[in-house]
Amino acid sequence: MSQNVIRIATRKSPLALWQAEFVKAELEKFHADLTVELLPMSTKGDIILDTPLAKVGGKGLFVKELEVAMLEDRADIAVHSMKDVPVDFPEGLGLEIICEREDPRDAFVSNSYKSISDLPQGAIVGTSSLRRQCQIRGLRPDLEIRDLRGNVGTRLGKLDAGNYDAIILAAAGLKRLKLEERITSFISTEDSLPANGQGAVGIECRIDDARVKALLAPLEHTETRYRVIAERAMNTHLEGGCQVPIGAYAEIDGDTLTLRGLVGNPDGSKILVGTTVGPKTDAKELGIALAKDLLNKGAKEILDAVYIK
Ligand SMILES: NCc1[nH]cc(CCC(=O)O)c1CC(=O)O
């Protein structure tokens, strides 16, 4: 590849394109003579739209095609929402960069009600995330959760069509798409612990590509990396894919990292929580320690029951 071009493999959804454009702008800001090209493509996860995500299964539904493009040298990098990035990477590829995190919270969106607690008895809430479903049902067992698929615009359209009383989306996605005014209220991380990596964008590339790695280096955000490493380590140790009711959220104060974790069942009748605190440089160990703590409390039985369904 010519010395001053970087090709970004990206999904075609508005959010994926926003993220790719964001990385393009950042790269061009740091490297005045660099040309950044976007290579938009469809992934299996974009094509299978009529099946609930939890049933489609398969890690990396949204990333495989992008990875093949990098391995075949049709693209140099791929930009991902960290919460959708699988644990393992194909040989030759790695997650080189984690960019600064956007708002990690879940957002409550409704045309009629102000918040989860404002919803009437038996109201219908849209989400396809077992993690969100579990925590909402934990707060309000009377609510009815209905599946909600599609990209952010499609989901808002289904709310506006009257199919739901409220829907839950990641605040980061709405903010990035300049749809922040659709957020009725933010759900605190106490009421809905975010998914590991939520709100953070990561960049994958060929691990032996020194040229690209040097160009990407200024986009790294160290604090976000520690937080995401801790969250992902917890998830990995629990053997959680992206479609399980697991929440993991780390915050840093000075050199101290506090990681909170949650495992539950989809109907919210069982919810386990735990916290670990330690030096941020031990991020991975803190994540594993919290996973072990949750397993000791019975997380495995809860997760096994979810996987069987
Ligand atoms: N699961 C899809 C997905 N992947 C990343 C985001 C939002 C942005 C982010 O978390 O970085 C979303 C949408 C949502 O969960 O509402």
**Which pLDDT does position 239 carry in this prediction?**
82
**pLDDT single digits (tens) 217-265:** 999 999 999 999 999 999 999 986 656 799 999 999 999 999 999 999 9
User: CATH homologous superfamily of domain 106-187?
Assistant: Periplasmic binding protein-like II (3.40.190.10)
State the pLDDT at residue 235.
94
pLDDT score of 55: 47
pLDDT digits (tens, 9 = 90+) for 196-215: 999 999 999 999 999 999 99
Q: How many helices (H) and strands (E) does the chain have?
A: 11, 13
For residues 85, 87, 91 and 93, what is the CA-based torsion angle, rounded to 10 degrees?
40
Q: Which two tokens mark 226? A: 């520690």
Q: How confident is the model at residue 1 (pLDDT cuts 50, 70, 90)?
A: low
Atom of ligand 1 nearest to the CA of 199: 11
pLDDT exceeds cutoff 90 at 88: no
Which CATH architecture does the domain made up of 5-99+200-220 adopt?
Answer: 3-Layer(aba) Sandwich (3.40)
Cα dihedral: 175, 179, 185, 186 (round 10): -20
Handedness of CA 116, 120, 121, 126 (dihedral sign): negative
| Position 56 confidence tier, pLDDT thresholds 50, 70, 90 | very low
Residue located via tokens 């594993």: 288
Ligand 1 pocket, residue 84 CB under 6 Å: yes
DSSP state, residue 166: E
Contact 299, 271 (CB under 8 A): no
Strand partners, 41: 11
Q: State in Å: Cα 2 to ligand 1 middle.
A: 33
Among protein residues, the one whose CA lies closest to atom 7 of ligand 1: 173
Q: What is the pTM for the complete model shown?
A: 0.91
Summarize the confidence of residues 117-133 as an average pLDDT: 96
Question: Rounded distance, CA 46 to CA 54, Å?
Answer: 14
Rounded distance from Cα 200 to ligand 1 centre (Å): 9
Instruction: Please work out whether the CB of residue 6 comes within 6 Å of at least one atom of ligand 1.
Output: no
Instruction: Please tell me if the CB atom of residue 170 comes closer than 6 angstroms to any atom of ligand 1.
Output: yes
Tell me the average pLDDT of the chain: 92
Q: Do 5-99+200-220 and 229-308 have matching folds?
A: no
What atom of ligand 1 comes closest to residue 198's alpha carbon?
10
**With a 6 A CB cut-off, is 156 part of the ligand 1 pocket?**
no
Q: Which residue has the higher pLDDT, 45 or 25?
A: 25
The count of residues in the chain is 309
Q: According to the model, what pLDDT value does residue 251 have?
A: 98
What pLDDT does residue 57 have? 45
Whether ligand 1 lies within 6 angstroms of the CB of 85 is answered as: no
| Structural class in CATH, domain 229-308 | alpha beta
Average pLDDT over residues 85-90: 86
* Span from the CA of 275 to the centroid of ligand 1 (angstroms): 24
Instruction: Say yes or no: ipTM exceeds 0.90.
Output: yes
Per-domain residue ranges of the chain: 5-99+200-220, 106-187, 229-308
* CA nearest ligand 1 atom 11, residue: 199
Tell me the two tokens of residue 238. Answer: 């629990």
pLDDT at 152 over 80: yes
